[in-house]
Amino acid sequence: MNQTNQANPTKWHQIFGAVQQEHLGPVGIKVIPEFQIGSSPPRADMLLLQQAQVTNWTGAQRARLPDGIRDSSAGRILLELKYSESVTQETFEQLIGYLFSYRQVEDLKREQVQGFVVSSMTPKPETLTLFGYHPTSQAGVYHSEHVMLAEIPLLLLNELSDEPHNLFFKLFASRKQEKLKAAAGVQDWWLPNLSSRFSWLLDGLFKLWFSKGVPLMEAITTEILIEQGKALQQVIRSLTAEQIARLPDGQRLLKKGFAEGRRQGRREGESIGWQKGQRLGQRLGQRLGQLEGEGIGWQKGRAEIESHTKQLAMKNIRQTLTMRFNIPLEQYDKQLQPLDLSATEKLNDLAFTVTTLAEFERILAQQTILATKTQSTT
């Protein structure tokens, strides 16, 4: 499907920048699309990533930055994005010039800012050889032997690994298979933590990339994608589970709806009341039944909802702590398993807000002791 119109070209650099703003902003990384130096006109394909404070990347920031960038000691990163264009000699010349000008204007030392070329398309082997780029131990991260390019890594989005921290860059890979893998990873790892605006933006992008339709007659902007994603979610809310399952991406939408329903139910809490809670349980039971088979029935479905919700909470705890503090996924499984749903959901919320791992471990120990006492008296 042709996704651009020559008279109204889609500004993919702005859309890429908007995705990174939504993803990196919550952890204190400022993203400036179409970056401008001094009085010079802004470059459409240049973006700046800047820490709110001049320190090394924090654990939470590294959990959201892709390979290569997350390992940089510079607090400011200039990105030259090539989404629909190939990497050429001019690409590197422009970035070198921009880096020099930026350091001069901001009075920065060389080690305080680093440039990266980010390429959606994979260059031909002869192009990589021409500029001295060779693969490193990290998939998709290339370094050059040329003295002028030695400090300018090349990120190839088609080759980045499927690790959670790479996904929001990898979404913009040129190969559809890589886009699909990245989209699936976003659903598995990041879905429960997305804001409504970010969720709408991604749904609009997925619809554009993965749905069949007529060629576009207008340039696609970030706001258009957000409105399309919002409209799509409004349509989904009016469908039954059976209707959703028949859509091309029905299983993904079911999974997303279940996660959003769980978040909403937790926020409303016990004040919902039994009647409203019963209706919510029926809706969740229907969706879970769609995934696990209609033969579950209401009685078994209700019990499995609680079990499934606890497993989701445990998965969120594991993923959140792993991304924030770089610990093994299974580190706290033994302590979490005996806890009831209420304690697990409390720890799920705390995993996002605690400032240290020691603080989480202290509260986990308290919940474990409480659970042990409860079990001994029953």
Q: Is residue 245 within 8 Å of 251, Cβ to Cβ?
A: yes
pLDDT at 275: 53
54 CB contacts (<8 Å, ≥6 apart)?
75, 112
Separation between Cα atoms, residue 244 and residue 252, nearest integer Å:
9
102, 81, 73, 101: which is closest to 20 by C-alpha?
A: 81
Q: For residues 128 and 16, what is the distance between their CA atoms, to the nearest angstrom?
A: 24
10 Å CB burial of residue 204 (0-12, 13-18, 19+) is buried
- Report how far residue 342's alpha carbon sits from residue 313's, in angstroms, rounded to the nearest whole number: 10
HEC assignment per residue over the chain: CCCCECCECCCHHHHHHHHHHHHHHHHCEEEECCCCCCCCCCCCCEEEEEECCCCCCCHHHHCCCCCCCCCCCCCEEEEEEECCCCCCHHHHHHHHHHHHHHHHHHCCCHHHEEEEEEECCCCCHHHHHHCCEEECCCCCEEEECCCCCCCCCEEECCCCCCCHHHHHHHCCCCCHHHHHHHHHHHHHHCHHHCCHHHHHHHHHHHHHHHCCCCCCCCCCCHHHHHHHHHHHHHHHHCCCHHHHHCCCCHHHHHHHHHHHHHHHHHHHHHHHCHHHHHHHHHHHHHHHHHHHCHHHHHHHHHHHHHHHHHHHHHHHHHHHHHHHHCCCCCCCHHHHCCCCHHHHHHHHHHHHHCCCHHHHHHHHHHHHHHHHHHHHCC
Q: Which residues fall within 8 angstroms of residue 246, CB to CB, at 6 or more apart?
A: none
Residue 297 has a pLDDT of: 47
pTM for the model: 0.64
pLDDT for position 6: 47
CA 296/CA 314 separation, integer angstroms: 23
Tell me phi and psi for residue 318, to 5 degrees. -60, -50
pLDDT of 214 reads: 45
**What is the full per-residue pLDDT of the chain (378 aa) written as tens digits?**
344 444 457 788 889 999 999 999 999 999 988 777 766 655 657 788 887 665 689 999 999 999 999 999 998 999 999 998 999 999 999 999 989 988 998 899 999 999 999 999 999 999 999 999 999 999 999 999 999 999 999 999 999 999 999 999 999 999 999 998 998 888 888 877 888 899 899 988 888 887 765 455 567 888 888 888 888 766 655 555 555 555 555 455 545 555 555 555 555 554 444 455 555 555 555 545 554 554 444 455 556 666 777 787 788 787 778 777 778 878 888 888 888 888 888 888 888 788 888 888 888 888 888 877 766 665
The vertex-260 CA angle with 244 and 19, nearest 5°, equals 95
Please check whether residue 282 is in contact with residue 265, taking contact to mean a CB–CB distance below 8 angstroms: no
